[in-house]
Chain A
Amino acid sequence: QVHLVESGGDLVKPGGSLRLSCAASGFDISDTYMAWIRQRPGKGLEWVAYISGIESVTFYADSVEGRFTISRDNAKNSLYLHMTSLRAEDTAVYFCAREDTDGYFEKGYLYLHSYKGLDVWGQGTTVIVSS
């Protein structure tokens, strides 16, 4: 059964750091697009970052570029989000999700053959940034 479980959410002070984890089961993340999406309290969904399949190309939303890093450990079948210089506006529930994407990168841009959406989601982990 395909499953994602996030962990690592916590209360952290502004300027602090945190690493979120997402453990996958039932599929191999090494050649799969994976993404982090967050939801601020009472608000909508906001894409944060993604990592592509075999090429491991990474992209970030402008709001977190330079502060957050997405990575994965294929041996542990786990996805991570390392967050630094945290701000109050980073307070949110963070979801990891599997993305069924087929495409190729050319000159740093993704050209899609098909896109079957974010088809598996974790339950989310809560990050609160407050002094």
Chain B
Amino acid sequence: ETVLTQSPATLSLSPGERATLSCRASQSLTKFLAWYQQRPGQAPRLLIYETSNRATGVPARFSGSGSGTDFTLTISSLEPEDFAVYYCQHRDNWLSFGGGTRLEIK
């Protein structure tokens, strides 16, 4: 079973800054990794699929990269609505989620 570890658990930044969120796997993964954003009281929203592809309607400031055991979600310039919790997720025979990174306003 794949274990996904996200870091940091909490990231404190200001609007306009660049955010880099990490997702590390317990074993080498395929490209079938996705990222989700969850705002308080809402369902998660798909941001990135297959490591680096933006989902429909996702702003270009969101980008994904990585391979093997290390994957990254980057938000190039934070907007106020970006402060939320972010989850990585891998798909093989099962689905695995990381524990999440809370992005908070500094």
Contacts and interface: CB of A to CB of B under 8 A. Distances in A.
A59 B93 contact: yes
Contacts of B100: 44-45
A101, A117, A119 interface centre (most CB from chain B within 10 Å): A117
Contact of B43 (A44, A95, A100, A109): A95
Which bucket holds chain B's interface residue count?
20 to 34
Interface in A86-112: 95, 99-101, 109-110, 112
A118 B46 contact: yes
Interface string B75-101: 000000000010101011111111110
A123 B43 contact: yes
B93 A47 contact: no
A45 B38 CA distance: 10
A95 B8 CA distance: 26
A115 B34 contact: yes
Given A45-B44, A59-B94, A61-B94, A118 B32 contact: no
Interface string B16-58: 0000000000000010101010100001111011100101100
A122 B94 contact: no
A43 to B, nearest CB: 9
B94 A45 contact: no
A47 B44 CA distance: 13
A121 B97 CA distance: 15
B50 A116 contact: yes
Interface string A60-89: 010000000000000000000000000000
Contacts of A55: none
Contacts of A101: 91
A46 interface: yes
A112 B30 contact: yes
A37 to B, nearest CB: 8
A117 B34 contact: yes
Contacts of A115: 32, 34, 49-50, 91
A22 interface: no
